[in-house]
A and B are shown apart, each in its own frame.
Chain A
C-alpha cells in the first residue's frame, strides 16, 4: 500500500479545471490543500466515484447548490431541479475519474458515480488514514475535492 504522488493528485485537479474550462470557459483553480481525518468539507451535493483494482478508496466532488445552478445556467440548462443538480455533480465526478483513468491506466477501475444530496461531514468509510482535501475555486464558489485513494499495487 502506498501513497499517491502530488502528480497523481494533480491529475484530478487538472481534470476539474479542464471540465470547468471546457464547459464554462473559466477554469477552476486550487485554493488550499491539506489532510483530513474526520471532518470533511462536504457541500449540498456530492458525487462519489469508487476506485478499485490496483487502487482502493473513493473520490468525492462536493459542491454547493449555488455553484451547480450557476454551472447549469452557463450550460444553458434551464431545468435546475435537484435531479439535474445531482446529475451535474455526478457528471463532474465522472469526468474527473474518467480523465484520471487515462493517466492511471486500466489498473484503476472506476465505478459509476453515486450521487448524494446533503451529506454529513463524515465519510462512511475512509480508505486512507488521511485523505487529501483540496478546495477548488470557481468564480466565487468553493467546492471540495476529497481524494481518499490509496494504491494497493
Chain B
C-alpha cells in the first residue's frame, strides 16, 4: 500500500477540513449573535426598567407635589420635599427625553446608564404624548421647586395640572413600559428562534463531521486491515519464497509461508540465512554467494552489473530431505535508503519444473521427427526398401551440399542453384511419400517451399544463404535418426530370425507405385486404378530400376493430378467412372526397352494449358500468344512451370516434369508424348541402346 504524501493527505482530508472550518465559522457566528442578542436584550432591559421607573417617578412627582401642597395648607414648608421634587422631576425629565433622543441618564443605582431612543411607533407615540403633557407640567413645577418659601399660586397651578394629567402620564408610561416589554419579548423570541436554529444546524454539522470522520477512520482502518490481511494472504499463498534479509544476513520478520518448503528448512524471524544456503548448494556456489551478498550490501557496484553476476540464478540445490536435485532461482533487490542498503528483498522460485521441462522439450525437439506414427511406419516398412531409400536420401543431400559448397565458384545464378537443389529434394519427397514416411515428406516439402521462395530472389542475404545448410542439416539429422531405428529393427529381425525375404525389384516398385496412386488419388479425391507390367525391371540394375521408379512416381502423380478427370466429369464425357493409369516396361523384339506411362484422362491440350497459364496469373497474354502449341507442351518440362493454382504436396511446384527430363537424360534415351484430348496421354521413354548394358539379368541388392 502506498503511503500518502502531504498533497494527497490534504486532498483526502479536504472534506473533513472543510466541514470543521464551516462548523467553527458557524459557531463563531452563533456566538456573535449571542453577544449581539444579549447586549441588545441588556439595553432593552435598561429601557424597560427605566420605563417602569418613569411610572413610579410620575407618581412620586405627583405625590411629593401633593405633600408640599398639604404642608403648604398647614403653612409648613419642608425643603426636603422640595429637594425630592426637584430630583424626581429632573430624573423623570431626563429619562423621558432620553427615551425621545437617546442618551445617558442616571440609572437605578445612581450611576449613569446609556438609554436608547425608542424606535417603535407605539412607544414613540407614548413618549411624544408624555412629553406633550410633561413639558407644561415641568414648567409649572419649576417655580415650586425653585421657591424657598410657600408659593401657593404656583403650587395650586401645578397641583391642578398634576391632578388633571397624572393618570394620563401614568398610563402613557405604563403603555411605554408594556410596549417596550412587548417589543423585547418579541425580539427575544426571534433571537431565541434563531439561536435554536443555529444550535440545530451546528449540531447537524457536528454530527456530519463526526460521522464522516468516523467513516474515514473506519475505512482507513479497514484498508490497513485489508492491506495487512492481503499481505498475510499473499505471503501465505504466494508460490515464490519472499523474505527480507538484513545486513547481518538474517531473515526478517515478514516472509512467505512457501519459503520453508522451497528451502526445505523451517524459517522463522531472525534466523541466519547463510547456514541454510550452505546446506543447499555446492561449496563453490556458497562462497560466491557469500561474496555476492556482501557486495550487494556494500552498494558500491551498480545494480545492473550485480544482477548479471547473481550466482544463485537457476542454481541446482539438494537439501538433505530432497530425493532429487531441484533448481532454485534467487533474485535479490536492494532496499536502499539514503544510499544505504537496509535490506535485501529476496525472491526464491522453484524452477525445477521449468528447467526439467525445458530439458525434456529440448530432448523432444531433437527427436521431433521420431514420433509414434513414424515409428509404426518404420516397423511396417520393408527394411531393404528403407535402406535403399535412406541411401538415396544421403546421396541426394550430399549432392545438395556439394552444390552449396560450390555455389560461388560456378557462374550459376541463384535460380539455377535453387532449381538444382529443388530437383533433388523433390525426388526425395516423392520417394518418401511412396514409402509413406510422412515426416520426411513434410520436411522435404518445407525445404521445397523454402527453395521456391529463394528462387524468386535475385540475391540472398546471410540468413538465406545459411538457411540452406541448416535445413540440410536438419534433414540429415532426421535421416540419421531413422537409420538408427532401422538398424535396431534389423538387428531385432536378425536376432529373432525373422529376416524378411527381399521382394523382387518389380514387386517393390509396383507396390510403391500402387501405394502412391492410392494416396494421391485419395488426396485429389479421384477414383484411379493402376495397372502394372513391370516384370522387366527385375532384369535391370537397381540404379536404373530406381530411376525408372522416380520417373514413374512423377508421371503417376501428374497423371492423377492433371490427367484423370473427377468422376462426375468422366461420366459426362461417357467414360468409365474409374480412371486408369498403366505403367509398363516392354521390350521390343530388337531388344529396345520402352517404359510407358499412360492415363485415360483429359489429354494434354495446348489450348487448355494456355488458358490455365493465363488464369494462373503467372503469364501475360503476350507471352502465351507468342508460343506455338509445341512450345506450350515443352513448357511442361521447364523448371518451375506449373498451372496449378495452389500448391500442395502432390502438385503445383512444377518440378515433376523437369525431374523426369533430367532422369531421362541421366539414363539416356528419348521421351515421347502421345496425347488425344479427352482420351489419353502416353509418355513413352525409349531407353537408349547404349544404356542397355545396365540391364542385369541377375540383379541382386547392391545397397548396404
Direct contact, A vs B (beta carbon within 8 Å): yes
A residues contacting B by CB (< 8 A) are 1-7, 9-10, 13-14, 17, 29-36, 106, 129-130, 132-135, 151-153
Contacts of A33 in B (CB 8 A): 404, 465-466, 468-469
Question: What residues of chain A lie closer than 8 Å to B533, measured between beta carbons?
Answer: none
Residues of A within 8 A of B408 (CB): 31-32, 135
CB-based contact A30/B462 at 8 Å: yes
Measured CB to CB, the closest approach of chain A to B638, in angstroms, equals 27
> Are the CB atoms of A7 and B463 closer together than 8 Å?
yes
Please determine whether A35 and B473 come into contact, CB atoms closer than 8 angstroms.
Answer: yes
Is B210 on the interface with A (CB-CB < 8 A)? no
- Inside 8 A of B28's CB, which chain A residues have their CB? none
Question: B359 at the A/B interface (Cβ < 8 Å)?
Answer: yes
Give the chain A neighbours of B363 by CB distance below 8 A.
Answer: 1
- B473 touches which one: A10, A132, A135, A152 (CB < 8 A)? A132
Contact across chains for B466 and A2 when beta carbons are under 8 A apart: no
CA A4 to CA B408, docked complex, whole Å: 24
Is A2 touching B365 in the complex (CB atoms < 8 A)? yes
A130 to B365 CA separation, bound complex (whole angstroms):
18
| Contacting pair A34 B365 (CB below 8 A) | no
Asked if A129 and B477 sit within 8 Å, CB to CB, the answer is yes
Q: Is the CB of A130 within 8 A of B466?
A: no
Contacts of A35 in B (CB 8 A): 401, 404, 469, 472-473, 476
Chain B 449-488 against A: per-residue CB contact (8 Å), 1 yes, 0 no? 0000000000000110111111011101100100000000
Instruction: Determine the distance from Cα of A14 to Cα of B461 in the docked complex, in whole angstroms.
Output: 12
> Known contacts being A34-B405, A35-B476, is A9 close to B362, with CB within 8 Å?
no
Q: How far is the CA of A130 from the CA of B468 in the complex (A)?
A: 13
**Which residues does chain A contribute within 8 Å of B476, judged by CB atoms?**
35, 129-130
CB of B217 closer than 8 Å to a CB of A: no
Provide the bound-state CA to CA distance between A36 and B398, in Å: 10
Q: How far is the CB of B546 from chain A (nearest CB, A)?
A: 24
Q: Determine if B193 is an interface residue (Cβ-Cβ < 8 Å).
A: no
Q: Enumerate B345-374 residues with CB–CB distance to A below 8 Å.
A: 358-359, 362-363, 365-366
A32–B469 Cα distance when bound, in Å, is: 10
Measured between beta carbons, the chain B residues less than 8 angstroms from A34 are 401, 404-405, 468-469, 472
**Which chain A positions have C-beta within 8 A of B472?**
34-35
Central interface residue in A4, A13, A34, A36, by most chain B CB within 10 Å: A34
- Cβ-closest 10 pairs across A and B: A2-B366, A34-B405, A34-B404, A6-B466, A6-B470, A30-B462, A32-B407, A6-B467, A33-B469, A33-B465
Q: Is the interface of B mostly helix, strand, loop or mixed?
A: helix
Contacts A13-B466, A31-B408, A33-B404 supplied; 6 other A-B pairs, CB < 8 Å: A6-B463, A6-B466, A13-B462, A35-B469, A36-B405, A132-B466
The number of residues on chain B lying at the interface, defined by a beta carbon within 8 Å of a beta carbon of chain A, is 27
Q: Bound complex: CA of A9 vs CA of B365, how far in Å?
A: 18
Q: Do B366 and A132 touch across chains, with their CB atoms under 8 A apart? A: no
- What's the least CB distance linking A10 to chain B, in Å? 5
**Contact yes or no, A3 B473, CB < 8 A:** yes
Whether the Cβ atoms of A1 and B463 lie closer than 8 Å is: no
B residues near A129, Cβ cutoff 8 Å = 476-477, 480
Chain A residues with Cβ below 8 Å from B406 are 32
Contact A32 B470 (CB under 8 A): no
Q: How far is the CB of A30 from chain B (nearest CB, A)?
A: 5
| Contact A2 B405, beta carbon cutoff 8 Å | no
B residues with a Cβ closer than 8 A to A are 313, 358-359, 362-363, 365-366, 401, 404-408, 462-463, 465-470, 472-474, 476-477, 480
Among candidates A3, A9, A36, A151, residue contacting B466 with C-beta atoms closer than 8 Å: A9
B454 to chain A, nearest CB (A): 12
Docked CA distance A94–B466 (Å): 22
User: Is A1's CB under 8 angstroms from B366's CB?
Assistant: yes
C-alpha gap A133/B405 in the complex (Å): 9
Query: Which residue of chain A is the closest to B462 with respect to CB atoms?
Result: A30
Residue numbers in B under 8 Å from A3 (CB-CB)? 366, 470, 473-474, 477
Among B313, B405, B480, residue most surrounded by chain A Cβ atoms (within 10 Å): B405
- Judge whether A5 and B362 touch: CB under 8 Å: no
Whether A134 pairs with B466 at a CB distance below 8 angstroms is yes
Residue of B nearest to A150 (CB): B366
| A91–B221 CA distance with the chains assembled, in angstroms | 65
Chain A residues with CB under 8 Å of B468's CB are 33-34
A-B contact pairs, 27 of them (CB 8 A): A1-B366, A2-B362, A2-B365, A3-B366, A3-B473, A3-B474, A3-B477, A4-B470, A6-B467, A9-B466, A13-B462, A30-B465, A32-B407, A32-B408, A33-B465, A33-B469, A34-B469, A34-B472, A35-B401, A130-B476, A132-B469, A132-B470, A132-B473, A133-B405, A134-B466, A151-B362, A152-B362
Complex interface: chain B residues within 8 A of A130 (CB): 473, 476
Please name all residues of chain B whose beta carbon is closer than 8 Å to the beta carbon of A152 when the two chains form the complex. Answer: 362
Q: Which residue of A lies closest to B464 (CB)?
A: A6
Query: Considering the chains assembled together, what is the distance between the CA atoms of A17 and B366 in angstroms?
Result: 30
A112 to B205, CA, bound (A): 81
Query: In the complex, what residue of chain A is closest to B471 when comparing beta carbons?
Result: A6
Q: How far is the CB of B316 from chain A (nearest CB, A)?
A: 12
In angstroms, how far is the closest chain B Cβ from the Cβ of A58? 17
In the complex, residue of chain A having the shortest beta-carbon distance to the beta carbon of B477: A3
Asked whether, in the complex, the Cβ of B470 is within 8 Å of the Cβ of A9, the reply is yes
- Per the bound structure, the CA–CA distance linking A9 and B466 in Å amounts to 8
Closest B residue to A39 using CB positions: B405
Which residues on the A side are within 8 Å of B405 (C-beta)? 32, 34, 36, 133
**A32 and B404 contacting across the interface, CB-CB below 8 Å:** yes
Whether B462 and A29, one on each chain, are in contact in the complex, defined by CB atoms closer than 8 angstroms, is: yes
User: CA separation between A9 and B405, bound complex, in Å?
Assistant: 17
Closest A residue to B468 by CB, please name it.
A33
State A31–B410 Cα separation when bound (angstroms): 12
Which residue of chain B is the closest to A2 with respect to CB atoms? B366
Closest to B397 in A: A35
Q: How far is the CA of A32 from the CA of B414 in the complex (A)?
A: 12
**Complex CA distance for A32 and B473, rounded to whole angstroms:** 15
Q: Which residue on A lies nearest to B364, using beta carbons? A: A2
Task: State A28–B392 Cα separation when bound (angstroms).
Answer: 37
Most buried by B among A5, A7, A13, A33: A33
Q: Whose C-beta in chain A lies nearest to the C-beta of B308? A: A106
Known: A35-B472, A129-B476, A129-B477. A30 touches B365 (CB 8 A): no
What residue of chain A has the Cβ atom nearest to residue B360's Cβ? A153
Q: Which of B401, B407, B462 contacts A10 (CB 8 A)?
A: B462
Q: In the complex, which residues of chain B have a beta carbon less than 8 angstroms from the beta carbon of A153? A: 358-359, 362
CB distance from B423 to the nearest CB of A (A): 18
Most buried by B among A7, A130, A152: A130
**Nearest opposing residue in chain B for A106, CB measure:** B313
Residues of A within 8 A of B362 (CB): 2, 151-153
> Which residue in chain B gives the minimum CB-CB distance to A8?
B470
Contacts of A151 in B (CB 8 A): 362
